[in-house]
Amino acid sequence: MRIDIDRTLCEGNAVCEALAPMVFDLDDSDQARVLPEALRPDGTVNDEHRMLVERAADGCPRLAITVTG
Amino acid sequence: MNSPADTTAVTDFDHHSATFAERPFEALAELRDTSPVAWSTAHGGFWVITDHEHVVDGLADYATFSSTSGPAIPANPFGTRHIPVAFDPPTHGLYRKVLNEWYSKAEITRREPEIKAMVEQIVAGLAARRSWDFVADLANVSPGAVTLGILGWDPARRLELLDVMTVSMRNQANPDPDVQEQNAQRNVWFREQILGEAEDRRAHPRDDLMTVVATQPVVGGAQLTDEELCDCVVLLLLAGFHTTSGAFTALLAHLQRHPEDRLRLDQDRDLIPDAIEEIIRIYSPATAHARRVTTDTDFGGVRMKEGDWTLFVNMSANHDPDAFPEPEKVELGRNRAKSVAFGWGVHRCLGLHLARLILRLEVEAVFDLLPGYEIDLDRAELSGRMGQGYFYDSMPAHLPGKA
């Protein structure tokens, strides 16, 4: 799957990190990012944590996370 | 209520007790070090979870640990169906989506000038009096006033409403039937006020949050019922009130004990947001969140049964040395990524951007308008209700030259 975070929407509420900590965290500027270790070379993310990632996308207060594929 | 197995650590831990209030951090450390997931016999029995790992795991797992019985043990005196905290996804998200728009970082930033003016007006009043109580005269006044402003209520009514909330929350765990009857009556009165405002907005819609919750379809295209509307507005008022007050006075107490930090913050205002985060990590404005187990589950080395109550103690998770080295030490620049001061998971504080703004504006106004202020820490009174949050009941202060 592919995960896109709209950084113009993200405001660092950290709900994604709470729901799927193996995929998301906040960077130094308090914005959500996909963990480098979760990213594959082609920019996609392993499906292993799909359910939690979808929960994180649904739970994001700003709807800043899009999951495709 | 199910009884735990023989191997379970059993405690009489009661977050609402006077013994807990006397030494909350020590009591939690003892529990966390020996049995981070224990069974408490208080309040009909509940699991008490005190280490960082299990607090964040549990609060993130809304499917197993449900909010639908209400997030407090015992129940909140103003009801247990509060919107959106007493709902799980997906319903939770439908309510929250409407509210998010009013509490987003962008919206709160837009309101900064009006909130700043409100805070400065209150603080200027303190300067004129030269002696005051930081709890009653500032910390307990500004958050409620700002929330009522977002809702679009008359700021002149704020003291009346705040008084009612204060008394009932103080009596939350009081078993006296007469006291609980008085709480019930205050709840009825409170709801009448909310419905009165809602009726007014239906007749005269305005650009405020009260109009939105009173008139606009929210869930599945339906308007909120009167009951839902009350459950939502009560929560918005209650949630930001004591919490923000507690955070502000805990910061002031720290600065009084550590003049070097006070000087640093006054000279470098950019440090204020970090200081706020670190203070609320240590002095939790919200002590704990209750959830109810939806299905038999193994968690933290114990077997939990469907229907069991659980209490996730944020105050303890934020003092866990495994998550925060030297947890009792105030480090202004500490990384706050793991802090659960604003909760964790889908219920993470809706008003966190507002709380951060109010707290920053309060500190700035105090520095600017009350130069040289002194707090009489010996006369400051910590609350006996640490089960709700780390609050002060009183914090007398004065300008130099008047004690």
Q: What residues in B contact A61, CB-CB < 8 Å?
A: 96, 100, 104, 348, 350
For residue B169, which of B81, B235, B230 has the smallest C-alpha distance? Answer: B235
User: Which pLDDT band holds residue B139 (cuts at 50, 70, 90)?
Assistant: very high
Q: What residues in A contact B64, CB-CB < 8 Å?
A: none
For residue B370, which of B324, B328, B393, B402 has the smallest C-alpha distance? Answer: B402
Most confident listed range (B78-87, B250-259, B344-353): B250-259
pLDDT tens per residue, range B93-124: 888 888 998 999 999 999 999 999 999 999 99
The CATH number covering residue B127 comes to: 1.10.630.10
Choose between B171 and B40: higher pLDDT: B40
Interior CA angle at B348 toward A69 and B26, to 5°?
A: 130
CB-based contact B345 A58, cutoff 8 Å: no
Asked if the structure places residue B219 within a domain, the reply is yes
CB-based contact B104 A26, cutoff 8 Å: no
Would you state the structure tokens that stand for residue B95, as one six-digit string?
A: 């309510």
CB-neighbour burial class of residue B372 (10 A; exposed 0-12, middle 13-18, buried 19+): exposed
Respond yes or no on whether the N-terminal peptide bond of residue B90 is cis (omega within 30° of 0). Answer: yes
DSSP run (H or E) holding B172: none
Range of the domain at A39: 2-68
CB-based contact B337 A59, cutoff 8 Å: no
Question: Count of domains in chain B?
Answer: 1
Q: Is the ipTM of this complex over 0.85?
A: no
- Alpha-carbon distance of B383 to B40, in angstroms, equals 23
For an interface test with B, the pick among A30, A55, A60, A63 (most B C-beta atoms closer than 10 Å) comes out as: A55
* Mean pLDDT computed over every residue of chain B: 92
Q: Which percentage of chain B shows pLDDT scores above 90?
A: 74
The CATH number covering residue A17 comes to: 3.30.70.20
DSSP run (H or E) holding A60: none
Residue B19 has pLDDT above 90, yes or no: yes
Asked if the structure places residue B385 within a domain, the reply is yes
> Tell me, what's the pLDDT at B78?
79
Asked if the structure places residue B109 within a domain, the reply is yes
Mean pLDDT of B266-288: 96
DSSP run (H or E) holding B95: helix B91-103
First to last CA, chain A: 5
Q: Which residue of B has its CA nearest to A63?
A: B97
Tokens 């620049």, located at residue = B333
pLDDT tens per residue, range B306-364: 999 999 999 999 999 999 999 999 998 888 888 999 999 999 999 999 999 999 999 99
Q: How many CA atoms lie within 13 A of A29 on its CB side?
A: 6
DSSP alpha helices (H): ranges in B345-395? 352-369
Residue B1 has pLDDT above 50, yes or no: no
Residue B402 has pLDDT above 60, yes or no: no
Q: How far is CA B218 from CA A35, B83, B90, B201, B357, in A?
A: 35, 12, 13, 16, 28
Would you state the structure tokens that stand for residue B85, as one six-digit string?
A: 């905290």
Q: Select from B56, B93, B352 the Cβ nearest to the Cβ of A18.
A: B56
Q: Select from B90, B337, B346 the Cβ nearest to the Cβ of A15.
A: B346
Would you state the structure tokens that stand for residue B163, as one six-digit string?
A: 């008084």
The amino acid sitting at A7 is: R
Asked if the structure places residue B252 within a domain, the reply is yes
Please, are residues B134 and B216 in contact by the beta-carbon 8 Å criterion? Answer: no
- Alpha-carbon distance of B291 to B345, in angstroms, equals 13
pLDDT tens per residue, range B165-201: 878 877 777 888 998 898 889 889 989 999 999 999 9
Check if B222 contacts A (Cβ < 8 Å).
Answer: no
Range of the domain at B200: 10-398
